[in-house]
Amino acid sequence: MPRESRIERAALFPDDFKLHAKLDTGAKTSSINAVDTRFSTRGGASWVSFALTNKDGDKMTLERPLVRTTTIKRHFGNKQKRPVIKLDICVGSIRKVVEVNLVDRTGLNYQLLMGRNFLAKSLLVDSGRTYMTSLDCPGG
């Protein structure tokens, strides 16, 4: 099982969009920074699009089918409803398609938070280290 640090480089596929991710064993699900979120219907299914910017200033708009809406319990007991999509994500040499909730993380240091739904059975996290691996995505 690969050992990762708490901060790693990640890539979103099929676009190979690079960003920095915080690996958070305390979070059940992963989340990504979503701004300018818009909902639409296509072929009877709900879709969501949103803008994403990485630390280098690279920008892209992602559009994915809406899987569901979830309620997240926040630190101070507040609850927040968030849309959930599936993303193909790679960290180090681990590539998975996982559910990711959308939230405005503009004021936070990392655009992507990787929760246990990505980390489980794949990675050990060393909380005292950063950037221990390079991106070596299978099929990427």
What does the alpha-carbon distance between residue 65 and residue 139 come to, in Å, rounded to a whole number?
A: 23
Cβ-contact 52, 61 below 8 angstroms: yes
Print pLDDT tens along the chain (140 aa): 555 558 899 999 999 999 999 998 888 999 999 999 999 999 999 999 999 998 888 999 999 999 999 988 777 778 889 999 999 999 988 999 999 999 988 888 889 999 999 998 876 676 676 766 778 887 76
Q: What is the DSSP string of 5-19?
A: EEEEEEEEETTTEEE
| Domain 3-130 belongs in CATH node 2.40.70.10 | yes
User: Which residues, listed in sequence order, are joined to residue 17 by a DSSP beta bridge?
Assistant: 12
| pTM across the whole model | 0.86
Query: CA–CA separation, 71 vs 59, rounded Å?
Result: 28
Q: How far is CA 44 from CA 62, 65, 84, 99, 137, in A?
A: 19, 11, 17, 21, 34
DSSP 25-57: TT-SSEEEE-EEEEEEEETTEEEEEEEEE-TT-
